[in-house]
Amino acid sequence: MSYHPETEAIRLQTTRTNEKEHSTPLFLTSSFVYETAEEMADAFSDNGPGVNIYSRFSNPGVDEFIAKMVALEKAENGIATGTGMAAVFATFMTFLKSGDHLISASAIFGSTHTLLTKYLPKWGIHHSYFDAANPGNLEKLVQPNTKMIFLETPSNPGLDIIDLEWVGRICNEKNILLVVDNCFATPAVQQPIPLGAHLVLHSATKFIDGQGRVLGGVVVGSKELIHELYLFVRNTGPSLSPFNAWVLSKSLETLHIRMDKHAQNAFTLAKKLENHTDINFVRYPFLKSHPQYDIAIKQMSNGGGIVTFDLKGGIEAGRKFLNALKMISLTNNLGDTRTIASHPASTTHSKLNEEERQSVGITPGLIRISVGLEYFDDIWADIEQALQASASK
């Protein structure tokens, strides 16, 4: 019997033990035992997941988290990692080799940019960037050795939206792997695989956990592709801890409810900011003023929980705004129950030079708000007084 995604996130659980628990227990063990030498030998005879051997390979709690993410993303299988960046790196290392070419959206997380520009070239893997806000030249960047297209939608932090069906058609025509970072949307808002993606990855640290507690990453896709990823993770060790997996699995039970509330608060905030006299522009996917609004409403169920806006006073106004906040947290995380403000130019994207930041829409006065679950009037009161304090006199 099939269930709706909201039900799958709650009801998919590890098989009950003899203790008949209602809530899945923690499986805090490094290894697993066998009844006989023959059973132990059988466990090691196959290179694929199945029988639990060692928690670097698999663990019941980790498997439960993966199963839920697979169901929510409409995938066939998945693999979990210790962090979101481990998921990104494992994907690059599994499917790219020396001499290969990767095409990436230029608007990506700063650490992913560092992988592409500093580390992958050491292994002879090179990349080209396309403009996420104007992706029309994407096809022209394809080379005979192009093996992967990587993108975030919505992007971090500019909230560019890329038409996944369009990119998926290009990838299928040219036999290129399409990898989508779905961290900002989550599967509660957007499912890239039915739209054409081959692999979808997440920093589960963000909205998947949703309370700023643990680190984690996950990649989902076809059984064939995930088997290759499983072998990489098994042999190199960036595995997700059983405790973090237990927390993340529990978090998924409230994901849809949380994302609806995040989006409701974020949309209300974006509309209030849109015509503010001290702001140059506001970006939110479900605002009609968003350049890719038509794409957003086609492939997303809501606009997500992130709002960005640019202060007219630039870098100094941004600093004053952050310093004036009383309730809202200053931290480099996002996707928390608590509203968070950050200044990408000096934090998450500081590794990019000024030209690179400008090319992906990160202006000196850009503020990113991860809109939390607090009562909206309290969120707005704090932002409003900080805007007044940062306004140019």
pTM comes to 0.94
* Sequence-separated (6 or more) residues with CB below 8 Å from residue 144: none
What is the average pLDDT score of the chain?
Answer: 93
Question: What confidence score (pLDDT) does residue 76 get?
Answer: 98
**Architecture of the domain defined by 255-390:** Alpha-Beta Complex (3.90)
- Given a cut of 80, is residue 291 above it in pLDDT? yes
- DSSP-derived letter for residue 328 is S
| pLDDT, tens only, 157-166 | 889 999 999 9
Query: What is the number of residues in the chain?
Result: 393
Task: Provide the sign of the torsion angle of the four alpha carbons 249, 250, 251, 256, taken in this order.
Answer: positive
Q: Which two tokens stand for residue 89?
A: 């790196």
Do the beta carbons of residue 210 and residue 186 sit within 8 Å?
Answer: no
- Given a cut of 60, is residue 372 above it in pLDDT? yes
- Given a cut of 90, is residue 216 above it in pLDDT? yes
The Cα–Cα gap between 300 and 185 comes to 8
**Architecture of the domain defined by 5-252:** 3-Layer(aba) Sandwich (3.40)
Tokens 């960037």 appear where? 129
| pLDDT, tens only, 35-75 | 899 888 888 876 545 788 899 999 999 999 999 999 999 99
The Cα–Cα gap between 322 and 89 comes to 32
Question: What confidence score (pLDDT) does residue 41 get?
Answer: 84
> pLDDT-derived band of residue 392, with 50, 70 and 90 as boundaries?
low
CA-wise closest residue to 78 among 215, 193, 210 = 193
Q: Where are the domains of the chain?
A: 5-252, 255-390
Tokens 């403000």 appear where? 341
- Given a cut of 70, is residue 349 above it in pLDDT? no
3-state secondary structure of 81: strand
- Given a cut of 60, is residue 200 above it in pLDDT? yes
- Given a cut of 90, is residue 306 above it in pLDDT? yes
Do the beta carbons of residue 132 and residue 162 sit within 8 Å?
Answer: yes
